[in-house]
Structure 1
Amino acid sequence: MTEETTTLTPQAPPPVRHWPALDLKGTEFDPLLAEFMREGPLTRIQLPHGEGWAWLATRYDDVKTITNDPRFSRAEVTGRQVTRLAPHFKPRPGSLAFADQPDHNRLRRAVAGAFTVGAAKRLRPRAQEMLDGLVDGMVRAGPPADLVERVLEPFPVALVSEVMGVPAADRERVHAWTRTIISTSGGAEAAERAKCGLYGWITDTVRARAHSTGDDVYSLLGAAVARGDIGADEAVGLAGPLQIGGEAVTHNCGQLLYLVLTRPELMARMREEPGARAAAVDELLRHIPHRTSVGLARIALEDVELHGHRIAAGDAVYVSYLAANRDPAVFPDPERIDVDRDPNPHLAFGNGPHHCTGAVLARMQTELLVGTLLDRLPGLRLAVPADQVLWRRKTMIRGPQTLPVTW
C-alpha cells in the first residue's frame, strides 16, 4: 500500500453502501462486489449485522499490503461490534483469527507441526485410503449419486477429524456442531448452542490429553498447555476454527467440481493431461467465489492515507480476497478460467500472518478429490441439468447443497 503524501487534500469519503447477504446461484460472482470493484479501490460498506460501516479494499496490491501491515489489527476487533455478515460474534481467547503479533506466532507454533508440508505428505497415503473407501462405496451403490453426500462431505470431515484427533464415536456430533456454526439460517441462538457444545467438548478433550505424546492437534494442544506455552482457554480458541475447516473444503471442492462438470473442454483437459491438474486446481481456486461477501475485519490503529482517502484510527477495514483474485491488473481477463495462467499468485487461502493454517492440508485434499474422481469414474457427469443443481442458502461459505452425478 503506497501512502499518499499528507499535503494532498483528502477526497470526500465514498458513500456507505449496504451489502446484503445475497443468495447467489452457482458460481455467480457477487454483482454488488463487482460494482464496488468498478467504482474504485476503496468502498464504504454496511453489512447485515453489527454496527456502523467499514472500509472495503478490493484491489490485489492493497489487499496484500493491508493484510501484512501491523497498523491494521485483528485483536482490536474483539472489543467492537463492527458491521459484519455473521449474526453472532463472540471471539474466544486464543483464536488465531483475532491475534496480532507476537501472540499470533506463539499460538500458531503450538499446532504448526500438524499442518506442515511434511505432515501432509505423511498423511497422504491414509487420506487416499479413506477417499478410496468412500468412492468404493459409491461405485458399489451405483449411479446416480449425490457427490456431496457420498464423498465431498464425509472425506474432509473424516480427514480433519483424523488430523485433530477426534475419536470415531464423536465425529458425527462434532460435524453437526461445525455445520450449524457456519450456517446463517438458524440465527444466533442455534449457532451459540452449537458453539457451546463444540467448545465444551474441545475443553474436555484438550484437558484429557495433557500428557499425550501423540501428533494429533488435540494432543499437541494438551501438551502445550501442560508446558505453559499457551493457556487452556487459548487452546480451545485455537482448536475451534481448525475443527471447522473441513466444512470449507467440502464446499470449495463442490464449486470446483461443478465447474469441471459443466465445462466439457476443461474436463477433457484434466482427464487427458494429469500433469495439468495442479495448475487447473490453482486456477479454479482463484476463480470460485468461496464465500458470501467478506470474512473478518481489521481495525486501523493509526490514521492511514490510501488512494487519497484517510482511513482514521479506529475505523474498521475489510479486504476482499475474491475481488483481489479478479483484479485485471494481476490476472488478465480475470473472468476466464485459464488453466495455463502463469504466474497465478491467487489469494484463495488468504495472505500474511493470517494465511490459512490448514492451506497445505486443504490443497492436498482438493488435489486428491479431483484426481481420484476423474481417474476412477470414466464418464463422470452431472445427473441433472446444471440449472437444477441446488445451492446452499443463508450461509457464509458458498457451495452446492447437492451435486447429483452419474458415470
Structure 2
Amino acid sequence: MTQEMTAPPPPPVRDWVPPEIDGPGFDPLLAELMREAPLTRIRLPHGEGWAWLATRHEDVRAVTNDPRFGRAEVTRRQVTRLAPHFKPRPGSLAFADQPDHNRLRRAFAGAFTVGAMRRLRPRAQALLDPLVDGLLAQGPPADLIATVLEPYPLAVVGEVMGVPEADRDRVRAWTRQIISTSGGAEAAERAKAGLYGWITRTIRDRREGSPDADGDGRGGGVLSMLGAAVGRGELTEEEAIGVAGPLQIGGEAVTHNCGQMLFLLLTRPDLMAKMREVLDRPAGRDAALEELLRWIPHRSTVGLARIALEDVGLAGRTIRAGEPVYVSYLAANRDPEVFPDPDEIDLARDPNPHLAFGNGPHFCTGAVLARLQTELLVTTLLERLPGLRLAVPAQEVPWRRRTMIRGPEALPVAW
C-alpha cells in the first residue's frame, strides 16, 4: 500500500495595516513575516481576498524574473492592496507584460541610459546649485524638503521629459499636488486631470516631430520621443500617455529616499563622519549611497502584485494559477543569507546586490537618473553646508502619514 504525500496546510492569512512609524524603522509585521516562513499570506486594507508574499532575496528574484507571474491580469481584478483607489491607466508600463513591456520601454529607453545621464550631469548640477544658493541666502533654520529635496527632482524630471520652460511651473504644481498628502483625493484628481490633459496635448503636438523637435538645443526629451513613436505607429496615443504620466511624477521617490538618508546621517554622527570621509572618493561614496539605498524602508508594505498564470512551485509550496503574489524588496534587502548583519548599516558593504530599484523586466526605468540625483543631492548638501545638523530634536521631525512612499514630511536643519 503506497502512502499519498499530502501538501502542508497553507499558512494563515495575516492582516497587514501599515503602522505609522516616526523614523526609518523597519515595519515590525514585515519582520515577523520574514521570520515565519519564506512564503506567507497577507491581506492588505483594500481590494479583495488575500495574496502570497515572498520575502527571501532568492524567491523575490525568482518571481520578478518569471514570465509565469504577470502584471496585466491585475488590472482586471480587485486584488488585495494598500491603495484605496485603483484606476490603472491603459498603456501603463507598470502593468504591461512581455512583449508589450519591451515595446513600450523601447520608445524612450535612450533617455535613461548611462551615457544620457553622463551628458545630463552638468545640467543636473546647474539646476541644484541655485536651490542651495537660495538656502544659504535664506539662512538657518530651513526645511530641506521644501527648499531643495522636493523642487530639485521635479526640475530634473522636467528637463529629462522635455517640459518647456513656460510650462514647468504649472507641471510642477500639478505634480506636487498629486504626490502631496494634503488637499485630499479631490485635489489630487484635479491635478491628475490637469497634468494628463497637458501631456495629451503635448504628445499630440510632437507626434509628427523628432526627439529634438522643440529646438532648445538639449533635445526634446521623453515627451518628444513618445510623440515621435506615436507618429511612427509604434505606440498608440493612449499608451504614450500611460507611459509619460508616471515618469513625470517619478521624482517623489528621490525626495523621500534622500530625506531618509539625510535624517539617518543627521541622527547618526558615526555615519555622518564616515560619509564625509568618502565624499571625494567615488568608489567609497557610491558604495555608501548604495548601502543607504539598501537599508532605508522606502515604502509602506508592498508595491504592485503579480498573478500566477499557471501553477508555479516556490519555496516548497505551489502557487496556483490565478493566485496573486507580492514580493517585498524591503525584506529581500534584509535577507541574512545575502547580507551579513542585514540590520546594520555598513557603508563599505561589498558585494551589495540590493533590490531597492526592483528586479527583472520591471526594474525601475529611472534607476540611473535616481542614482545621479541622489549622489548630487547628498554630496552637494554635505559639502556646501558645513556643520549641517537638525534644527529640532530628532523625535520632533514629522514623518509622512497614510502614504505609500515613506520619508520625513519636513527636515528642519541648521548649519
- Shorter-chain-normalised TM-score: which range? over 0.9
Say which of 161, 173, 177 aligns to 2:174.
Answer: 177
Equivalent residue letter for 2:275: M
Q: Which residue number in structure 1 is paired with residue 8 of structure 2?
A: 11
8 Å CA contact 1:87–1:184 kept in 2: the answer is no
- Could you say if the C-alpha distance between residues 226 and 364 of structure 1 is closer, same or farther in structure 2, counting changes exceeding 3 Å? same
- Are 1:271 and 2:276 counterparts? yes
- Are 1:69 and 2:84 counterparts? no
After TM superposition, the structure 1 = structure 2 runs for residues 274-353 of structure 1, keeping only pairs within 5 Å, are: 274=279, 275=281, 276-353=284-361
The CA distance in 1 between the partners of 2:342 and 2:262, in whole Å, is 19
Residue ranges of structure 1 left out of the alignment (5+ in a row): 1-6
Q: Which residue number in structure 2 is paired with residue 146 of structure 1?
A: 143
The CA distance in 2 between the partners of 1:402 and 1:347, in whole Å, is 27
Say which of 239, 242, 246 aligns to 2:247.
Answer: 242
Say which of 75, 80, 87 aligns to 1:90.
Answer: 87
- Could you say if the C-alpha distance between residues 297 and 78 of structure 1 is closer, same or farther in structure 2, counting changes exceeding 3 Å? same
- Could you say if the C-alpha distance between residues 32 and 186 of structure 1 is closer, same or farther in structure 2, counting changes exceeding 3 Å? farther
Q: Secondary structure at the match of 2:42?
A: strand
Shift of residue 149, structure 1, vs aligned partner: 0.8
Q: Which segment is superposed worse, 337-346 or 202-211?
A: 202-211
- Could you say if the C-alpha distance between residues 8 and 94 of structure 1 is closer, same or farther in structure 2, counting changes exceeding 3 Å? farther
Residue ranges of structure 2 left out of the alignment (5+ in a row): 213-218
Say which of 75, 79, 101 aligns to 1:78.
Answer: 75
8 Å CA contact 2:18–2:27 kept in 1: the answer is no
8 Å CA contact 1:185–1:395 kept in 2: the answer is no
After TM superposition, the structure 1 = structure 2 runs for residues 1-400 of structure 1, keeping only pairs within 5 Å, are: 9-182=6-179, 189-213=186-210, 214=212, 215=219, 216-274=221-279, 275=281, 276-400=284-408
Equivalent residue letter for 1:345: P
The CA distance in 1 between the partners of 2:286 and 2:241, in whole Å, is 34
Deviations 1:127-162 (A, max 9, x none): 111111110111111111111111100110100011
Q: Secondary structure at the match of 1:269?
A: helix
Equivalent residue letter for 1:232: E
8 Å CA contact 1:302–1:312 kept in 2: the answer is yes
The CA distance in 2 between the partners of 1:176 and 1:50, in whole Å, is 30
- The number of aligned residues is 401
- Could you say if the C-alpha distance between residues 134 and 159 of structure 1 is closer, same or farther in structure 2, counting changes exceeding 3 Å? same
Shift of residue 355, structure 1, vs aligned partner: 0.3
- Could you say if the C-alpha distance between residues 180 and 12 of structure 1 is closer, same or farther in structure 2, counting changes exceeding 3 Å? farther
Q: Secondary structure at the match of 2:65?
A: coil
Q: Secondary structure at the match of 2:245?
A: helix
Q: Secondary structure at the match of 1:159?
A: helix
Q: Percent identity?
A: 74
The CA distance in 2 between the partners of 1:163 and 1:35, in whole Å, is 41
Shift of residue 304, structure 1, vs aligned partner: 1.2
Shift of residue 93, structure 1, vs aligned partner: 1.9
8 Å CA contact 1:382–1:403 kept in 2: the answer is yes
The CA distance in 2 between the partners of 1:372 and 1:184, in whole Å, is 28
Q: Could you say what the CA RMSD is over the residues aligned between the two structures, in angstroms?
A: 1.5
The CA distance in 2 between the partners of 1:54 and 1:185, in whole Å, is 30
8 Å CA contact 2:287–2:348 kept in 1: the answer is yes
Q: Secondary structure at the match of 2:338?
A: coil
The CA distance in 2 between the partners of 1:16 and 1:181, in whole Å, is 33
Q: Secondary structure at the match of 1:67?
A: helix
The CA distance in 1 between the partners of 2:241 and 2:225, in whole Å, is 12
Shift of residue 188, structure 1, vs aligned partner: 5.2
How does the TM-score come out when normalised to structure 1? 0.95
Equivalent residue letter for 2:382: L
How does the TM-score come out when normalised to structure 2? 0.93
- Could you say if the C-alpha distance between residues 8 and 155 of structure 1 is closer, same or farther in structure 2, counting changes exceeding 3 Å? farther
Deviations 1:222-260 (A, max 9, x none): 100000010000000001111111111101110011111
The CA distance in 2 between the partners of 1:167 and 1:23, in whole Å, is 39
The CA distance in 2 between the partners of 1:316 and 1:187, in whole Å, is 30
Q: Which residue number in structure 2 is paired with residue 3 of structure 1?
A: none
Q: Secondary structure at the match of 2:107?
A: helix
- Could you say if the C-alpha distance between residues 180 and 21 of structure 1 is closer, same or farther in structure 2, counting changes exceeding 3 Å? farther
Q: Secondary structure at the match of 1:395?
A: coil
Deviations 1:340-388 (A, max 9, x none): 2110000000000000000000000000111111111111111111111
8 Å CA contact 1:221–1:235 kept in 2: the answer is yes
Q: Secondary structure at the match of 2:346?
A: coil
Q: Which residue number in structure 2 is paired with residue 4 of structure 1?
A: none
